[in-house]
Amino acid sequence: MKEAKIKLVSNRKGCYQHVIPMLWGTGIGYIMVGTAFFGSYLVLQHNSYLALSLFIPALAFAILLGVVAYRLIADILCDYTLEISAEDVVFSKYDRLRKKQTNQLALLSDIKYVEYYPYQDSASIIFHTNDLDIDVPLWPLGGHVQDVVDFLTGAGVRVIDVQSDESIPI
């Protein structure tokens, strides 16, 4: 008899479609920063205080955009795998930017409950056990989110949809 299990693997090409507007926004933000830097340079000849008041916020915004761009690129370069069998849950993340692999394992019998966040662009699921919490982003794993929820429910795991009125156990 074949063991029941579900395995989801991320599709980075599918994630690019969701990231393109963010990359455009970041690019436009850097154009605005460049414009502010140029404006502060032109104003510097006449009023150094005004030039400084243009330069400092533009520099802070450039740093913020750099952090956002780095996190965006880091998320694009990650591969995710979620495998749920009748006995356990295995979540693997391979970060291509840092060349680092992390694996998390939890037995289904050890899972107290699961929090499910069904938001379209940031769907995730958190497995709660006595020892650890495994936070799994579902958005890069494609459109099989409901399959994961159905599989867990069928395996007897309590799944709490955070959009419902059901309370989260403490």
What is the domain-level CATH number for residue 86? 2.30.29.30
pLDDT of residue 145: 79
For 101, residues 6+ apart whose C-beta sits below 8 A from its C-beta are: 92, 93, 94, 95
Q: In this structure, are 61 and 129 located in the same domain?
A: no
**SS3 state of residue 119:** coil
Q: In this structure, are 62 and 98 located in the same domain?
A: no
Please count the structural domains in the chain. 2
- Sequential pLDDT tens for the chain (170 residues): 467 788 888 877 766 677 788 889 999 999 999 999 999 999 999 999 999 999 999 999 999 999 999 988 888 888 999 999 989 999 999 998 899 999 999 998 899 999 988 876 678 899 999 888 999 988 787 777 788 888 888 888 889 988 877 777 76
State the residue range of the domain holding 64: 12-76
Q: In this structure, are 91 and 38 located in the same domain?
A: no
pLDDT of residue 75: 81
Count of residues in the chain: 170
**Which DSSP category does 109 fall into?**
G
Distance CA 61, CA 83 (A): 40
Structural domain contains residue 170: no
pLDDT of residue 44: 94
**Do residues 52 and 40 touch, judged by C-beta distance below 8 A?**
yes
Structural domain contains residue 108: yes
pLDDT of residue 28: 96
**Which DSSP category does 168 fall into?**
P
- pTM summary value: 0.74
pLDDT of residue 14: 66
Which residue, 39, 56, 76, sits at the end of a domain? 76
Distance CA 132, CA 142 (A): 25
